[in-house]
Amino acid sequence: MPDVRFVCLSDTHFGASNSLLTNLKSDGSEVDPTEPSPVLVQLIACLRDLISKNANSQPPVLILNGDILELALTTDNIAAMAFERFLELIMPNNGQALFNGTINYIPGNHDHHLWETARETQYVDFISQTKLGKHLEIPWHATKMFAPDPVPSCFLNGLIRRHAYLGNTTKVGTIYPNLALLGDSTQECVIFSHGHFTESMYLLMSDLRTLLFPNRQTPRATWDYEAENFAWIDFFWSTMGRSGDVWTDVELIYDKLQDQRQLESLVLNLITGLIKRFGSSVIPDWVQSRLLRPIVRGLLIWFSKRESAAPDRDLTVEGEKGLRNYLEGPLREQVLEERHHNMPTNVTFVFGHTHKPFQRDIQFNGYSQWTKVYNSGGWVVDTVVAEPLHGGAIILVDENLNTTSLRMYNEQIDGQDYSVKVESATHAGAATNPFHDRIKSLVDPTKDPWKGFSETVAGSRPAYVTNLQNKISRKN
């Protein structure tokens, strides 16, 4: 009987004021990370109920697939406390641990700095163990994906040590940017990656370099993607939270970009500021109207058109192109290098990042006929109006590396329409997935704890919407 052996969760954005898994004060105006959010409590109750049905009592492995901590749009202490509430629920002081003691952490773009601190700590350890006078290797920017040696997370393990009852039983190991599980036959393979490298915005430095030096070789390896772009990702997407009052203004820009009037206001403010700084004689009216204003507006619109901001498709044409480029390029290169050019027959790819969960079989060059693709969505309220494609899912994997998606919610206009579903990537003529069938038989959306979870999400979302609306409407 197939059991839940791996649980993958992503895009929790712990600490963010728009994360359903971060607790808000009773009036909804500010976060209160001293308590877990009602949605988080119900989510863990659902997982605990499902895992209790395992025939094998061995607890599953937890895989945190990026953007778990919000380090760009809140301060480190808030993100840390919100994560601790999660930790206390899955590893309670007086109760059964939900997962085994090793947590695999794959940083995304909003918590990328956790990889930087782990990477630099790893390099310091390497230096200290290298004999004086021996050549030092260049710092590396990725771990192995197959049977990796996870880098201890100083930050998260420090949080764990605050909970004396956990002792040395729970540790977080960092793997970046890909983690692969390989079946006993070596033909079954599940690959986890946060997914930011499927979006061109996070390859900005590589694209600029290619524009400046068109004859140079385009990066093909995962570590080259990271080496060329890590500073940009870390700067803007992962360390803003420690930038004093600047991070609150950056968060405000994020929120205002979804409103056309607020976008125009941002453009006007920037133009006005430039004129004040440099003078109208340096920036005449024709430059403002014909060049500066369109350029600024274009840049802000480009920034606002992230994959997560496209409400009408679970994966845009550009998003599918980026996914294809990543799987057929650097990901495949890393698989072939580590597997001595032996590509597994059955590959499943799991990512998050877009906040729009889906599952689909897709054909990629260099892979078997079909690759199962799962997106785990996200847990944040990105828009004031409910977007039915936005939602959160948990990807489950059994001992034979069969996969299924536990779709916890999609945003609904009518609160009565929230319902948990179990979804599987498949195509016509595909064999039945016994693990999917078993999980589907165990999840009854009309009964607790699943029904209670749906009711909690429906009842909680309005407070986060109000919080977001207040920020969008805030004067600049």
Residue 5 has pLDDT above 90, yes or no: yes
Residue 195 has pLDDT above 60, yes or no: yes
* Alpha-carbon span 10 to 251, nearest angstrom: 20
- The neighbour count for residue 456, using CB atoms within 10 Å, is 22
Please state the pTM of the whole predicted model. Answer: 0.90
Residue 277 has pLDDT above 80, yes or no: no
pLDDT score at 20 = 98
* Alpha-carbon span 377 to 407, nearest angstrom: 9
Residue 287 has pLDDT above 50, yes or no: no
Q: Which residue has the higher pLDDT, 160 or 296?
A: 160
Q: Is 297 helix (H, G, I), strand (E, B) or coil?
A: helix
Number of helices followed by number of strands (H, E) in the chain: 14, 13
**pLDDT bucket at 476, cuts 50 / 70 / 90:** low
pLDDT digits (tens, 9 = 90+) for 205-221: 898 888 888 888 778 89
189-228 exposure pattern, b = at least 16 Cβ within 10 A, e = fewer: bbbbbbbbbbbbbbbebbeebeeeeeeeeebebbbbbbbb
Rg of the chain, C-alpha, whole Å = 23
Q: Which residue has the higher pLDDT, 267 or 70?
A: 70
pLDDT digits (tens, 9 = 90+) for 394-446: 999 999 999 999 999 999 999 999 999 999 998 888 877 999 999 999 999 99
Residue 255 has pLDDT above 80, yes or no: no
- 419 within 8 A of 403, measured Cβ to Cβ: no
pLDDT score at 210 = 86
pLDDT digits (tens, 9 = 90+) for 37-54: 999 999 999 999 999 999
pLDDT score at 413 = 93
Residue 471 has pLDDT above 80, yes or no: no
pLDDT digits (tens, 9 = 90+) for 104-156: 999 999 999 999 999 999 899 889 999 998 999 988 899 999 999 999 999 99
| Mean pLDDT of all residues in 246-253 | 55
pLDDT digits (tens, 9 = 90+) for 292-321: 455 555 555 555 556 766 777 889 999 999
Residue 31 φ/ψ, nearest 5 degrees: -80, 150
Q: Which amino acid is at 331?
A: L
